[in-house]
Structure 1
Amino acid sequence: MKQFDKVRIVQDIPEKGITKGHLGYILEVYDDNHFEVEISDRNGITLFLGALSRDFLEVVI
């Protein structure tokens, strides 16, 4: 995974308000397993901005 990749959340993260299927973008790569991800709604309003591990993400082609 690399900066600006489009990603899909693969499992719910209720404590962060994220559900499986949300789409977002990697804004920063911290290391091979941790990424800063932004998830926005259809109007461009940020729903989540924070660090997630690779376990919660898959790249969307």
Structure 2
Amino acid sequence: MKQFDTVKITMDNHNEGVTKGQIGTILEVYDDNYFEIEICDSNGITLFLGALSRDFLEAVF
């Protein structure tokens, strides 16, 4: 996965406030396992901005 790829959240992470099925964008690649993700609603309002591990992400093509 690389910067600006679209990703889907694969499982809930209640500590971070993300839920399975949400769609986000990779803003920064920290290493092979951690990425800065932004998830927005349909109006462009940020719902989540933070680092997630690859375990929670699936690339959307």
TM-score, normalised to structure 2, is: 0.97
Which consecutive residues of structure 1, in runs of 5 or more, have no partner in the other structure?
Answer: none
What's the % identity of the aligned pairs? Answer: 70
Q: What CA distance in whole angstroms lies between the structure 1 residues aligned with 2:26 and 2:35?
A: 6
Deviation track 1:8-61 (CA, whole Å, cap 9, x = no partner) reads 000001122110000000000000000000000011000000000000000000
Q: What CA distance in whole angstroms lies between the structure 2 residues aligned with 1:37 and 1:7?
A: 9
Runs of 4+ in 1 over 6 A off after TM superposition: none
* Structure 2 counterpart of 1:16: 16
TM-score, normalised to structure 1, is: 0.97
Which consecutive residues of structure 2, in runs of 5 or more, have no partner in the other structure?
Answer: none
Paired residue total: 61
Structure showing the higher helix proportion among its residues: 1
